[in-house]
Amino acid sequence: MNAPANAKAAPRKAGKTGATSFLTTFRQLADSVGPEDAPGLRRALAGLIAAAALQGFGLAAIAPLFTAAATGPGLGEALVWFGVMVVLMGTASALRWVAQGFDFDGRMVRATWRLRSRLGAKLREIPLEQLQDRRAGELNSMVLGNVDENLLYALTVLNLVFTAVVTPFCAALGILLFDWRLGLLLLLVFPAIVPLYRWRRPALGRGKRILGQAHQEASADVLEYTQGLPILRAVGRAGEKAERLSATFRKLEQIQIFGHRKGAKPNIIVASVVELGLVAVLGVGVWLVVAGSLHPAALGAVFVIVVRLSEPLSTFILYTAMLEVMEAALERIAALMAIRPAPQMDPPAMPESHEIRFEGVGFTYANADSPTIRDFDAVLPERSLTALVGPSGCGKTTLTRLLLRHFDPQKGHVTIGGVDLRQIPADRIDGLVSVVFQDVYLFNDTVLANIRMGRPEASDDEVRAAAAAAQCLDFIERLPQGWHTPLGEIGGRLSGGERQRISIARALLKDAPIVVLDEPTAALDTESELAVQSALDALVAEKTVIVIAHRLSTIVGADQILVIENGKLVQAGRHGALIGQGGRYARMWAAQGARKRWSVAG
C-alpha cells in the first residue's frame, strides 16, 4: 500500500523561525507554475535580477562620467564612461525585455491556466470527506483568486522588489569603486534596513495570511448567502443572515485596519532610515567637497543617484507586502496540493461480478467521538434490490458513501465482486456505481449536456434514448429551446420530478452495474412519483440496487431489507418475514401505517 490515507495537510511552513526567505518564495513559485514552465520562470527571475544589478552599476557610472566631463582635458574619458553607462543601461533594458517576455508572450497566463487545471484534478482525487470539510466559496476563492494573486502579477511584483533593493545595492557598490568613502556610506543604509525588515516580516506575513483567510471566509459567506437567499426569504430570515454577512465584512475591515497599521509602521521607519541615511551621504559629500578631497561634479553625480534611488528603496516594504500576499496564496495552494489521494491497495483489480459485501465494517467520522457504523456485515447479491431502512441518522447514507469510497472504514472492508474497494483504481469506482439523490444538481449547460454528463462520449441519439426511457421527453419538448435550453437559466423552473428524471437519464446513460437510490421519490407528489417510478424501473432492471427508504411502502417488494439502528444491522430479510418476526421493522411498519390512517382521517 502507498501513502496513508486522510493525511490532513498542514499549511507548508517554509521558514523554521516563521520568517520565510525570498528563496522559499521563489521555490514555491516555481513549484506552482509546474515543471513545464519552472525553468523558464527561473531564467526570467535571473534575468530581472541581472537587469536590476546592471541598472545599478549603470547609475554608478554617472559619477566618473560627471567627474571626467568636469575635470578631464578632453571629451575622451567622458565619452568612454558615457559608453559604459549606455552599454550597462541598454543591456539592463534588453534583459528586462527578454525576462518579461515570460509574461508578455502569454506563458504566465498559460501557467496560471495549468495550475488551475492541476488544482481541479486535485479536487477530483482528494478524499471527499476532506473536500466536504471545505466550503465551496473557500475553494472558489482559492482556485480563482489565489491562483491569480500568486501567478499573474508575480513577475511585475518581483521586478519592483528587485529594482527597489538590487539596483540601489549595486549602485552603492559601483560608487564604492569610484570613491570608497561615499560608497561605504551608501552601503551602510542596507545593514540598517535589512534587520528592520527581517524583524517586521514575520508579523507582516502573519497579517497577510490572516487577511487571506478572512477573504476566503467572506467569499464563502457571500456564496452561501446568495445561493440560500430563496430559502432565507421563504423562512423570513434573510435579514438575520445579512447581519451575519455584515459581521463577516466588519471582521474583514478590522483585519484590514490592523494589517494597514502593522504595515504602515515598518514602512515609515524604513522610509525614514533611508531618507536620513541618504541625507547623511550628501552631508558627508558636501563636507568632502569643502575639504577639497571630492570634486563638486562627483557630488552632483552622487546627488542624482541618491534622488533616483531614495524613492524605490524607501518604499520597498510596500512591494514586499505584495510579496507576502503572494506567499500566503502559495501556501494555501501548496496545502491543498499536499492532500494525498486515497491509497491504492496492490494489486489493482477490477471486479468481474457485482455482489457487494460489507465485512465487519466499523467507521467513525474524523470529527466524531463515537462510531457511526459498527461491526456491519451484509451481503447484497448481484442483480438484487436491497433496501436500507432505519431511523434518521442511523448511518444509511454513510454506508452508501463507504461503497462509493468517499472514505475507508477503520475496521473491516467493503468488496464488490470479491475485490476490496481499495484495490479498485479510484477513477473506476465511479464507473461502477450510479447514484440518484433526492436533490439533483443541474449544471449551467444545455439539457443535452446535462444528461450527457452520465457518459460524455455518448452520441446524441443515445442521450435522447436515455431521456426517453427516463420519461423526460414530454417536458424537454416544452422547454423554450428544447434540448438546447440552458438549464442554468431555467433550472429553477423545472419541477422536482423533472429534475429527478434528468438525473435518472444521466444514470441510465452511464449504465453502471450498481445503482444507489437515495430516496429519490421522497419529496415528490403522486403524479411526479409515478413518472419517476417508471423511470427508475428502467434504470434498475438487471442491476445491483441499493435503496435508502423512509417510506416503507415503497420497498415492500425488495429482495432484502436491512434494518439499521445506531450504525448496527439489527434485522435482515424480506418484508413478509420481517413483519412475521415482530421486531423493530414490524414496529416501524405499524407506526407508518398508523400515521397514514391518521393523516387520511385528519
Ligand X SMILES: Nc1ncnc2c1ncn2[C@@H]1O[C@H](COP(=O)(O)OP(=O)(O)OP(=O)(O)O)[C@@H](O)[C@H]1O
- The Cβ of residue 417 has, within 10 Å, a number of other Cβ atoms equal to 19
Q: Is 397 in the site for ligand X (CB under 6 A)?
A: yes
Nearer to ligand X, 17 or 392 (CB): 392
Footprint (CB under 6 A) of ligand X, residues 372-391: 372, 390
Helices (H), 61-140: 62-71, 76-104, 107-125, 128-133, 136-140
Least distance (Å) between residue 335 CB and ligand X: 20
Q: Is 283 in the site for ligand X (CB under 6 A)?
A: no
Least distance (Å) between residue 439 CB and ligand X: 12
Q: Is 398 in the site for ligand X (CB under 6 A)?
A: yes
The identity of residue 24, as a single letter, is T
- The Cβ of residue 354 has, within 10 Å, a number of other Cβ atoms equal to 18
Tell which phi-psi region holds residue 21, choosing left (phi > 0), alpha (psi between -120 and 50) or beta.
beta
Least distance (Å) between residue 220 CB and ligand X: 17
Least distance (Å) between residue 127 CB and ligand X: 12
Strands 385-389 and 560-565: parallel
Least distance (Å) between residue 236 CB and ligand X: 25
Nearer to ligand X, 315 or 397 (CB): 397
The piece of 73-81, 206-214, 218-226, 396-404 that touches ligand X (CB under 6 A) is: 396-404
Least distance (Å) between residue 410 CB and ligand X: 14
The DSSP line for 177-242 is HH-HHHHHHHHHHHHHHHHHHHHHHHHHHHHHHHHHHHHHHHHHHHHHHHHHHHHHHHTT-HHHHH
Nearer to ligand X, 402 or 466 (CB): 402
Q: Is 593 in the site for ligand X (CB under 6 A)?
A: no
Q: Is 464 in the site for ligand X (CB under 6 A)?
A: no
Strand partners, 465: none
Q: Taking each helix axis from N to C terminus, what angle separates 296-314 and 154-178, rounded to the nearest 10 degrees? A: 160
Which three cell numbers mark 45?
527571475
Nearer to ligand X, 428 or 595 (CB): 595
Binding track over 261-280 against ligand X, x by CB under 6 A: --------------------
Q: Is 396 in the site for ligand X (CB under 6 A)?
A: yes
**Gap between the Cα atoms of 103 and 156, Å rounded:** 9
Least distance (Å) between residue 128 CB and ligand X: 9
Q: Is 394 in the site for ligand X (CB under 6 A)?
A: yes
Least distance (Å) between residue 96 CB and ligand X: 52
Helices (H), 344-495: 396-403, 426-432, 447-452, 460-469, 473-478, 487-490
Nearer to ligand X, 365 or 443 (CB): 365
**Gap between the Cα atoms of 209 and 321, Å rounded:** 11
- 375 contacts 317 by C-beta, under 8 angstroms: no
Nearer to ligand X, 310 or 521 (CB): 521
Q: Is 393 in the site for ligand X (CB under 6 A)?
A: yes
Binding track over 334-373 against ligand X, x by CB under 6 A: -------------------------------x-xx---x-
Residue from 137, 395, 409, 454 that binds ligand X (CB under 6 A)?
395
Helices (H), 358-459: 396-403, 426-432, 447-452
Nearer to ligand X, 393 or 482 (CB): 393
- 424 contacts 512 by C-beta, under 8 angstroms: no
Q: Is 392 in the site for ligand X (CB under 6 A)?
A: yes
**Cell numbers 423545472 correspond to what residue?**
494
Residue 544, phi then psi, degrees to nearest 5: -85, 115
Nearer to ligand X, 142 or 563 (CB): 563
The piece of 14-22, 35-43, 83-91, 395-403 that touches ligand X (CB under 6 A) is: 395-403
Which among 479, 455, 361 has a CA at the least distance from the CA of 411? 361
Write out the residues near ligand X by the rule CB under 6 A. 365, 367-368, 372, 390, 392-398
